[in-house]
């Protein structure tokens, strides 16, 4: 997929900070920087989301990657896998997220979180009372609120990237285990 909008020139300090932290400048930021107000608000909210700490980081990573795999956002799946590895998750396990339903490496709670993330991502959303209630019982109210808001934010990011034509930047290339291929379900998230 090719970018549908050329990259904008970022302020030098922002570029330098991304290069220092990740070795490159994030293409989604370069594209959205055509509207610095939108890009800045997105970066600020992303920073706030990253600071949420009630829900287990592994569950957040798996939810993020499940949404990215379902929607087809190569950039989010790529960076999600890279971040999962950096958070100490088992890379072989994280690599199975695109095919989590067929994989046997996930706990029941991890499966419930990925199913919930996919149900929120479906159009119209397919969250059921039973699904929500089960996770609420297991996670508690604060973590359930965080999970729901996190998945909603990830949906915004993945869909934004796809609409702009942003694809993988190769972050997962530095990881030893390749991502699994998503099994076709015949269903569409949108």
CB-CB contact of 27 with 75 (8 Å): yes
φ, ψ for residue 125, nearest 5 deg: -55, 145
Cα–Cα dist 166/151, whole Å: 19
Cβ neighbours of 128 (radius 10 Å): 11
So what's the pLDDT on residue 182?
60
Distance from the Cα of residue 134 to its chain's centroid: 23
Classify residue 104 by burial, with Cβ atoms within 10 Å: 0-12, 13-18, 19+: exposed
What percent of the chain stands above pLDDT 70? 89
So what's the pLDDT on residue 104?
94
CB-CB contact of 97 with 115 (8 Å): no
Give the mean pLDDT of 107-113: 98
Q: Is residue 183 classed as helix, strand or coil in its secondary structure? A: coil
So what's the pLDDT on residue 85?
77
Instruction: Give Cα separations from 22 to 107, 171, 172 (angstroms).
Output: 30, 9, 12
Q: Is residue 165 classed as helix, strand or coil in its secondary structure? A: coil
So what's the pLDDT on residue 127?
98
Radius of gyration of the chain (CA): 16
CB-CB contact of 68 with 81 (8 Å): no
53-106 pLDDT per residue, tens: 999 999 999 999 999 999 999 888 888 877 777 788 888 888 899 999 999 999
* pLDDT exceeds cutoff 80 at 186: no
* pLDDT exceeds cutoff 60 at 176: no
CB-CB contact of 3 with 29 (8 Å): no
Which tokens in the block code for residue 182?
Answer: 């998503």
CB-CB contact of 25 with 185 (8 Å): no
pLDDT band of residue 11 (cuts 50, 70, 90) is: very high
Domains of the chain as residue ranges with CATH: 9-51 (no CATH), 53-174 (1.20.1290.10)
């Amino acid at each position: 997929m090719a970018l549908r909008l050329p990259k904008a020139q970022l302020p030098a300090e922002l570029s330098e900070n991304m290069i220092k932290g990740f070795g490159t400048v994030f293409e989604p930021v370069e594209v959205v920087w055509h509207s610095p107000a939108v890009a800045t608000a997105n970066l600020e909210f992303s920073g706030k989301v990253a600071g949420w700490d009630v829900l287990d980081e592994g569950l957040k990573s798996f939810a993020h990657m499940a949404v990215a795999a379902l929607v087809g956002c190569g950039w989010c799946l790529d960076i999600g896998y890279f971040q999962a590895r950096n958070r100490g998750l088992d890379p072989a396990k994280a690599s199975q997220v695109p095919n989590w339903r067929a994989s046997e490496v996930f706990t029941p709670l991890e499966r419930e979180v990925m199913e919930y993330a996919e149900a929120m991502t479906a159009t119209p959303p397919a969250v059921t009372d039973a699904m929500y209630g089960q996770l609420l019982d297991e996670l508690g109210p604060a973590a359930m609120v965080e999970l729901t808001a996190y998945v909603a934010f990830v949906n915004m990011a993945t869909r934004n990237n796809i609409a702009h034509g942003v694809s993988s930047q190769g972050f997962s290339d530095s990881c030893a285990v390749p991502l699994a291929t998503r099994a076709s379900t015949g269903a569409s998230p949108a």
